[in-house]
Amino acid sequence: MKSPFQTIALIGKYNSPEIAEPLLKLADFLANLGLNVVVDSVTANHLSKHPYTVLELDRMVNNVELAVVLGGDGTLLNVARMLAPFDIPLVGVNQGRLGFLTDISIDTMQRTISGMLRGDYVTEKRMLLSASISRGEKHVFDSLAFNDVVIHRGNNSSMLEFEVRIDDEYLYNQRADGLIVSTPTGSTAYALSAGGPILHPALEAIALVPVAPHTLSNRPIVLKSESKLEILMHRSDEARVRFDGHTHFDLHGDDKVLVSRYSKPVCLLHPKGHSYYHTLREKLLWNQTL
């Protein structure tokens, strides 16, 4: 089969044995098309004996041209953060309901992916965030985020107090339960439930959404994507910063969280006919009759 992708990585939802059967069916299907199949090493722990090459995720970067992720949006978020720096396009297959990112049904994946391998796909570039944490003069942590960087208080702590600067200009001091720094992709995640706006994923923008602010005049604000944010923690008992809800780091008083756009985007491939607005209607139940 003539395809721009000759070596394809298959990555399943972690700690999900039920993904083994459909993943191996897809692997066999791709192999029968004459394509090379590589399986993620963590995923391989849940598979029965198979003939496919097994590689750790960080070793795939120079060996594959496409990654197919089977699971849900959370799985794709995790994989995207790791593979985005290496310009590997991603295809998302959802094992359950339609996802915002994993938009191919597991029941139709062979037919859909076969068409995409022939070139019947659309390419979408989405921005990521890069965040780093400084404690005094020392750099102590960094991570990428596809959805959001979230600073939040602990279960038993009082409100957080922090200062926000944008491009070295003072914006405000705030008391709140937290603060969400979101990409357009993340605007339909935690930021949406906190009252933030929905941003089309093609936009190059960053949303700053306070969580339960003490002052009601503190509202979400949308910034240009080149903005550099600096969040200085003043009162941070049990405070924590999370990246896409996966990676986290405990904050101390006077810690500084720096957030900016990451230099490389995530590349997503969708089947032809993909519609973001259709996904919104399905996920947010806008298609239901009142």
73 catalytic per annotation = yes
Per-residue model confidence (pLDDT) at position 290: 59
- Copy the structure tokens of residue 288: 């239901």
- Tokens 């993943």: give the residue: 23
- CATH of 129-261 among 3.30.2130.10, 3.40.430.10, 2.60.200.30, 3.40.50.720: 2.60.200.30
Which own/partner pairs from 58-64 qualify as long-range (CB within 8 Å, at least 24 positions apart)?
A: 58/82, 60/9, 60/88, 61/86, 61/88, 62/86, 63/7, 63/38, 64/7, 64/8, 64/9, 64/38, 64/88
C-alpha span between 201 and 53 (Å, rounded): 34
- Tokens 């041209």: give the residue: 65
pTM of the model: 0.93
Q: How do the domains of the chain map onto residue ranges?
A: 7-127+265-283, 129-261
Superfamily covering domain 7-127+265-283 = Probable inorganic polyphosphate/atp-NAD kinase; domain 1 (3.40.50.10330)
HSE of 224 in the Cβ direction (CA atoms, 13 Å)? 4
8-state DSSP, 245? T
User: Of the spans 72-76, 238-242, 254-258, which averages the highest pLDDT?
Assistant: 254-258
Do 101 and 276 form a contact (C-beta atoms < 8 A)? no
Q: How does pLDDT run across 210-244, given as a tens digit for each residue?
A: 999 998 888 999 999 999 999 999 987 789 999 99
- Dihedral of the CA atoms 134, 138, 141, 143 (nearest 10)? 70
Q: How does pLDDT run across 78-128, given as a tens digit for each residue?
A: 999 999 899 999 999 998 666 789 989 999 999 999 999 999 999 999 999
Which residue out of 40, 73, 103, 148 is catalytically annotated? Answer: 73
Do 274 and 188 form a contact (C-beta atoms < 8 A)? no
C-alpha span between 160 and 172 (Å, rounded): 14
> Pairing mode, if any, of strands 169-176 and 138-145?
unpaired
